[in-house]
Chains A and B, each alone.
Chain A
Amino acid sequence: MLGKLLKYETKATARWFLPMYGGILLFALFNKLFMLFNFSDMDVHGIPVFFQSILGIVQAMTVFLYVMIIVATFALTFFIMLQRFYKNLLGDEGYLMFTLPVDASSHIWSKLLVSVFWTVCSVIVTILSVIVMAAYPEMFQDFALFCEKAFQVLFTQTGLNATAFFIEFVLLVLITLFTGNLMFYASISVGHTRGKHRVLYAFVAYIVFYMIQQIITSVVIVVAGMVLDTNYWTDLMMDTAPTTLIHIIMIFSILYNVVAGIVYYLITNYVLSKKLNLE
């Protein structure tokens, strides 16, 4: 059943994102074309100054619109994430969704996976559009060469395994996306358990969740600081390379986000399966 939910969730949201992606790539192409015809050289071809300035304005507009579409796409990603959960599950459309023979956890996963999918797609399309604008024949070879060099330099200068760090970083960003979405879902769900002012309570729940996370983070840092201050740990730290410490911090952050995500998931699932009250 999750597969079917994913199919319809993707269909329902694709009609928003695909046109935006088309827009981004189209304007990237326009920008590229403008860059190819460098207008400062144009008077050689006999184009009057007047037209040059018009073209200059158009060029600036295309760059501006390109940036605006990217901003709008990411705003849309966020808005659709909230709207699909709030309206499709807990609004009138919830009458349909929650009378389907599907359990609450499948509903949560379908919303979550599709939302993360579109966020990742938005990032990929933005990167693609930059590649379109920067494109020249040997670009990919040059880029590969640059990466190899950069990773090498990082390693020889600091001893940091850049590949491992990169993987950890991507993993952390992905996990944070999941947890971030679930934090909104949990807040909306907590708001839903109230009879009135559900949106207001959702806001309050979000702030409370945020503060709890901040407190836990602070406590962990303080405790870690106190523990690490003892002689045993100080000696051990001296022997540990600073790069290992970076890996430890990254892995700890990933685990911390996984735990937070699980807690938010459990809250959401509890409300949707045990406390559902569609009005």
Chain B
Amino acid sequence: MENRVLLECKGVTKNYPSKMALNFLNLTIERGRIIGLLGPNGSGKTTLIKLISGILTPSSGVITVNGNPIGIETKKVVSYLPERTYLNSWMKVRDIIAFFKDFYQNFNEHKAYDMLKRLNINPNDRLKTMSKGTKEKVQLILVMSRDADLYLLDEPIGGVDPAARDYILDTILSNYNENATVIISTHLIYDIERVLDDVLFLQNGSLVMASSVDEIREQQGKSVDELFREVFRC
């Protein structure tokens, strides 16, 4: 039996000059899960995702993916959707797809073109001329077209219309395989609740709850959305 552990955080702390974003976080995540990373604004969701993707350096602690510390090996298998657009605006959609194909061995070009077609995005359009929502869709397509082990989606459905939202969630679900894990950070719990296996509640940089959605429903008799509102009542 291969090792089911995909991601491990040991004592991960991240200090910013003005505040502590993550406070000695310990976390183990297995393969084959769809996980909601939930918490109020400023709870450390984005910081955690950025640390795993390697664009932030932890102040202390260790993060490993497949047992490797964050680096080239982990970047090969981690597919990260940031909360902002990072696309070079001078490229066409076709160019950025070629770019991804060039750099990621696990990028599936056909899948990308297929999804573009489904969402009515012309591969010959320039990224510069696109609306913010369309750019977000393109980014999501790029990220989901990789056969990665770990998908990190930071607010993937915030900026798109409800119809596209459903399509995106279906895409995430249909991409599911037992070796890959998806971590989705969001405020829009109600919309994504149906796809989640587990939830992680973050508050002030600490993990306040880690549970499976079934457990919450069975033991507490509540939806995740209701529980969230209760835990984080202002």
Contact = CB atoms under 8 A, between A and B. Distances in A.
B84 A277 contact: no
Contact of B72 (A12, A94, A95, A103): A103
A149 interface: no
A102 B75 CA distance: 8
Given A95-B82, A101-B104, A274-B57, A195 B17 contact: yes
B17 A102 contact: no
B88 A94 contact: no
B142 to A, nearest CB: 9
Contact of A99 (B16, B75, B84, B85): B75
A276 B57 contact: yes
A278 B90 contact: no
Contact of A275 (B53, B54, B57, B86): B57
Interface string B68-91: 000111011010101011111010
Interface string B45-77: 000001001111100000000000001110110
Interface string B164-194: 0000000000000000000000000000000
Contacts, number: 64
Nearest to A106: B72
B103 A1 contact: yes
B99 interface: yes
Contacts of A195: 16-18
Contacts of A103: 71-72
A15 interface: yes
Interface string A86-117: 00100011111011111100000000000000
A45 interface: no
A277 B57 contact: yes
Contact of A101 (B18, B57, B72, B85): B72
B230 interface: no
B78 A99 contact: yes
A66 to B, nearest CB: 28
Contacts of B99: 8
A114 to B, nearest CB: 15
Contacts of B18: 195
A95 B103 contact: no
A92 B57 contact: no
Contacts of A101: 72-73, 75-76, 103-104
A99 B72 contact: no
A4 B104 contact: no
A102 B90 contact: no
Interface in A152-197: 195-196
B193 to A, nearest CB: 28
A99 B17 contact: no
B49 to A, nearest CB: 11
B50 A278 contact: yes
A161 to B, nearest CB: 47
A216 to B, nearest CB: 31
A95 B86 contact: yes
A275 B90 CA distance: 29
Contacts of A102: 72, 75, 103
B72 A278 contact: no
B103 A94 contact: no
Contacts of A275: 57
A12 B88 contact: yes
The 8 tightest CB contacts between A and B, nearest first, are A195-B17, A95-B86, A101-B75, A96-B86, A278-B55, A101-B76, A95-B82, A101-B72
Given A92-B85, A99-B78, A195-B17, 16 more contacts: A4-B102, A4-B103, A8-B102, A12-B90, A88-B88, A92-B84, A92-B86, A95-B86, A99-B55, A99-B75, A101-B72, A103-B71, A195-B18, A276-B54, A277-B57, A278-B56
29 contacts: A1-B103, A4-B103, A12-B88, A15-B90, A88-B88, A93-B86, A93-B87, A93-B88, A94-B55, A94-B86, A95-B86, A96-B87, A96-B88, A98-B55, A99-B53, A99-B55, A99-B78, A101-B73, A102-B75, A103-B71, A103-B72, A195-B17, A195-B18, A196-B17, A274-B57, A275-B57, A276-B56, A277-B55, A278-B50
